[in-house]
A and B are shown apart, each in its own frame.
Chain A
Amino acid sequence: MLWESQAGFNHCWRNPGGLLRLAWLLVLMSLVNGCAFVRGEVGEPFPEDRLQTIEKGTTTRQEVAQQFGAPDDIVQANGHEIFHYRRFDSKLGWLLFISRLNIGSDHLWVFFNPQGIVDDVVFGNRTKNVEFQIWPFGE
């Protein structure tokens, strides 16, 4: 092994082209900024089993709050009180001088009737489509 390393070293010295390439590589490595993959999440995921506990016409406001906690927002619209829960997921891919940050959001809207019983539920999971991407050009 030592002999092979020595031979490679000697070969390198005898071959200035190879040495030049190595020097360029070292310069390049010392100057470029590297890469990074960063993920950020805000809020808790909405597990399927918990979502299935919400039943229209049965589940109360209190039970929803026990499962998901206090809502991020309470919206009053058209005689409904609506609990709004949200979650964000972001993935950043960064290589040298290009980067792309993809952000997705999940929203859970629970509609209550005036008696405080669930009238309707709307859930959308967009964070599952969020990917790590680096290429910022194009569509």
Chain B
Amino acid sequence: MVGVVGKAGILGVLLLLSLSGCDFRRVVVNDPLVPDSLEGLVPGKSTIQDVAKKLGAPDEIEEGADGMVFRYRFGDSKTMRVNFGWILRFFLPVAPSMNLGRGEGVTYILHVAMRPDLTFDHSVIQPPPDPPHFGFWPF
């Protein structure tokens, strides 16, 4: 006779084993961009150092139509994979891989335009994208 604790333990072990055929992976690049951090920047007055204090150093700098453009990026991706062949290791001497997987990634970009005298001009931030989701169905 197995007690309640024993049953919960067995269920826990079975759950853990069944989940071992799964994979949840996430890759996060840099800190999230917060639109509120742009508040207080005054066009024509705020300097390149004011921008750097609020947002840090940009990932890229490019020449703009009039001045230059600072580009900031934040990336987030989630990948999930299920190996349906994993469970066969209990019944077969070899466990063939039968994987289904899917990954989703988003990139959040902020552009800050600077004037020729290296003062802040304007910024463009995209609406926050939907966060990526975990899912294994690739079709």
* Complex-state Cα separation, A106 to B31, whole angstroms: 12
CB neighbours of A96 from chain B (8 A): 16, 19-20
Stretch of A7-15, A35-43, A58-66, A121-129 that contacts chain B: A121-129
Say yes or no: A129 contacts B116, CB within 8 Å: no
Contact with A along B45-59 (1 / 0, CB 8 A): 000110010011111
Sorting the interface of chain B by its residue count into under 10, 10 to 19, 20 to 34 or 35 or more gives 35 or more
Say yes or no: B27 contacts A78, CB within 8 Å: no
Q: Is B23 an interface residue (CB 8 A)?
A: yes
Give min CB distance, A12 to chain B, whole Å.
16
Q: Is B88 an interface residue (CB 8 A)?
A: no
* Complex-state Cα separation, A103 to B19, whole angstroms: 26
User: By DSSP majority rule, is chain B's interface helix, strand, loop, or mixed?
Assistant: mixed
Give the nearest-CB partner of B72 in chain A: A124
Q: Is B39 an interface residue (CB 8 A)?
A: no
CB neighbours of B13 from chain A (8 A): 24, 27-28
Say yes or no: B63 contacts A31, CB within 8 Å: no
CB neighbours of B61 from chain A (8 A): 75, 77, 82, 84, 109
Interface residues of A in 30-58 (CB under 8 A from B): 31-33
Say yes or no: B31 contacts A129, CB within 8 Å: yes
Contact with A along B63-92 (1 / 0, CB 8 A): 110011000000000100000000001000
Give the nearest-CB partner of B90 in chain A: A31
Say yes or no: A105 contacts B6, CB within 8 Å: no
Contact with B along A68-88 (1 / 0, CB 8 A): 000000011111101010000
Say yes or no: A106 contacts B57, CB within 8 Å: yes
Give min CB distance, A124 to chain B, whole Å.
3
* Complex-state Cα separation, A123 to B48, whole angstroms: 11
Say yes or no: A77 contacts B9, CB within 8 Å: no
Say yes or no: A126 contacts B56, CB within 8 Å: yes
Say yes or no: B24 contacts A120, CB within 8 Å: no
Enumerate chain A interface residues (CB-CB to B < 8 A).
17, 20-21, 24, 27-28, 31-33, 75-80, 82, 84, 96-109, 111, 119-120, 122-126, 129, 136-137, 139
